[in-house]
């Protein structure tokens, strides 16, 4: 049986770390599931690592729905989260619901939406109508042109306070999970203290309830210089399966990310 949101909340309550990776197709879905991953994220990173763009901006809702259906077909027990790509969640809550429904019909169990306080009414609209939402704060890659690159966020006091306020508002609005990307570890720890929902980190802190990486990054396949938070697990192992098993084991043991994968303010 597929893991449910209740299972993720139970893990969080027990202090059991959630191991999450991105996934875009059925073969990888099978391998990652068998290696013990809890959550597969059909991320809009697919625009970069699958489609070859230099940002996630060209990805459409149809693209994510297609890849979500592939991942669903290749798996039986993992929880499936799908990304709302650029332009699919920024207009009105009603339009966002229509787009999110397409991902849910493809088999997603939760959608991920980038943004802070400005997305609260949208999160509220979806959550109150049966669509669980993971809110994504910190570095939000869809805003790459607004922030001038894939840069660490929340380094100064005002920006840090804003991220904490965003996290609290998103939880109050009904977000089920909070994902934080590329923020200083001390700030990530403060966010973990400020919310009660499970937190997922990528370039954040080992304190988070779980961790996520882009699968191709941890397999050393990225065409770009990997950010600090990427550990190429494949280099320490002989196979994809062993690399993913090591990732899962280290996340579960609270050993990944280490200090060398975190940002220090």
Catalytic site positions: 181
**The pair of three-digit structure tokens given for residue 259, joined into one six-digit string:** 């200090």
Does 63 interact with ligand KIV (rule: CB under 6 A)? no
CB 229 within 8 A of CB 184: no
83 forms part of the interface with ligand KIV (CB under 6 A): yes
Q: Is 212 in the site for ligand KIV (CB under 6 A)?
A: yes
Q: Does 45 bind ligand KIV (CB under 6 A)?
A: yes
Interface with ligand KIV includes 208 (CB under 6 A)? no
Contact with ligand KIV (CB under 6 A) among 17, 22, 23, 187: 22
Of the candidates 184, 150, 179, 172, the one whose C-alpha atom is nearest the C-alpha of residue 259 is 184
**Identity of the residue, 75 or 211, whose beta carbon is nearer to ligand KIV in the bound complex:** 211
Residue 228 Cβ vs ligand KIV, minimum distance, rounded to whole Å: 14
Q: Please tell me whether residue 249 adopts helix, strand or coil conformation.
A: helix
Told to check if 44 binds ligand KIV by CB under 6 A, we report: yes
Q: How far is the CB of 113 from ligand KIV (least distance, A)?
A: 10
| Shortest distance in whole angstroms from residue 50 CB to ligand KIV | 11
Q: Which is nearer to ligand KIV, 70 or 214 (CB)?
A: 214
48 belongs to the binding site for ligand KIV (CB under 6 A): no
* 44/63 with CB nearer ligand KIV: 44
In our burial notation (b when 16+ CB lie closer than 10 A, e otherwise), range 177-193 reads bbbbbbbbbebbbbbbe
- Among 73, 92, 62, CA closest to 25: 73
Contact between residue 66 and residue 108 where contact means Cβ atoms under 8 Å apart: no
**Residues shown for the chain:** 265
Q: Is 88 among the residues that bind ligand KIV (CB under 6 A)?
A: no
Quick one: which of 40, 17, 49, 20 has its CA closest to 212? 20
Count the site residues for ligand KIV by CB under 6 A.
11
């Amino acid at each position: 049986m597929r893991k449910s949101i209740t299972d993720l909340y139970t893990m969080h309550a027990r202090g059991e770390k959630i191991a999450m990776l991105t996934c875009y197709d059925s073969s990888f879905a099978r391998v990652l599931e068998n290696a013990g991953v809890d959550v597969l994220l059909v991320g809009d990173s697919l625009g970069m690592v699958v489609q070859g763009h230099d940002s996630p901006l060209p990805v459409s809702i149809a693209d994510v729905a297609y890849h979500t259906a592939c991942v669903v077909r290749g798996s039986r027990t993992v929880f499936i989260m799908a990304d709302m790509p650029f332009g699919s969640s920024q207009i009105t809550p009603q339009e966002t619901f229509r787009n999110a429904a397409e991902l849910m019909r493809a088999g997603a169990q939760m959608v991920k939406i980038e943004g802070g306080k400005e997305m609260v009414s949208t999160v509220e609209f979806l959550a109150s109508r049966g669509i669980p939402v993971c809110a994504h704060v910190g570095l939000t890659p869809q805003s790459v042109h607004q922030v001038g690159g894939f840069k660490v966020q929340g380094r100064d006091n005002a920006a840090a306070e804003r991220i904490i306020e965003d996290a609290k508002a998103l939880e109050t609005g009904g977000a089920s999970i909070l994902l934080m990307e590329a923020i200083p570890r001390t700030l990530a720890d403060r966010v973990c203290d400020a919310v009660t929902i499970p937190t997922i980190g990528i370039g954040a802190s080992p304190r988070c309830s779980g961790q996520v990486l882009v699968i191709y990054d941890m397999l050393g396949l990225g065409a770009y210089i990997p950010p600090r938070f990427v550990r190429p697990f494949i280099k320490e192992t002989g196979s994809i399966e062993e690399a993913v098993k090591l990732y899962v084991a280290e996340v579960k043991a609270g050993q990944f990310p280490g200090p060398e994968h975190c940002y220090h303010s």
